[in-house]
Amino acid sequence: MNYFQLFDLPATFELDLTELGSRYLALQRKFHPDNYAAASNRDRLMSVQQTANINDAYHSLKQPLLRAEHLLALRGLKISHEQRSFTDPVFLMAQMELREQLEEISTSDDPEDAIMAVEQQLQQQRKLLLRQLAAALEANTAEQNQQAAELVRKLKFFFKLQHELELIEQQLQD
């Protein structure tokens, strides 16, 4: 299913999220099962199914990584369930170092400062990768789509690091 089509939006990575939000609400209202209380079984079932599709589509398009994955899937590159190992040694070594930095936060003299420092690095790298991803998806050539897939994989590591950092922050606050 083409989620962009469902919302009648252009299939692009750069998306107007406000517009997406209002179209989502409009479709939700239109297909809400309450509106089909007096309808035939078939139509009631259709409204439940449509509501589920609309929810899936909205959640996929809202998040940049899922949106990129959906866009790539529409272009024939399915990467959302791949189990292939990622093997770029330079990138992975840098990931290891960031993980080590995270580990050292709780024992550092000024944990808040250490969190800020990592946070800044993560944000900077995420921004850079997202910019590259947008450009690759915009180009939409076979080669650039492969490149986009690789960037999505890299970004997943960064989103995971962000999550880990937030867990550490919470632990320090408790």
Query: For binding to another protein (CB under 8 A), which residues are involved?
Result: 81-83, 85-87, 89, 91-93, 95-96, 99, 152-154, 156-157, 159-161, 163-164
Q: How far is the CB of 108 from another protein (least distance, A)?
A: 18
Give the containing element (helix H, strand E) for 130: helix 111-139
Q: How far is the CB of 174 from another protein (least distance, A)?
A: 22
* 36/46 Cα distance (integer angstroms): 9
Q: How far is the CB of 153 from another protein (least distance, A)?
A: 4
* Exposure string for 26-42, b = 16+ CB within 10 A, e = fewer: ebeeebeeeebeeeeee
Which DSSP category does 110 fall into? -
Q: How far is the CB of 93 from another protein (least distance, A)?
A: 6
Cβ nearer to another protein, comparing 44 with 156: 156
Cβ nearer to another protein, comparing 16 with 97: 97
> What does 18-54 look like in DSSP terms, one character per residue?
HHHHHHHHHHHHHH-GGGGTTS-HHHHHHHHHHHHHH
Cβ nearer to another protein, comparing 23 with 154: 154
Q: How far is the CB of 143 from another protein (least distance, A)?
A: 20
Residues 6+ apart with CB under 8 A from 137: 12, 13, 68, 71, 72, 144, 145, 148
Cβ nearer to another protein, comparing 51 with 132: 132
Cβ nearer to another protein, comparing 140 with 159: 159
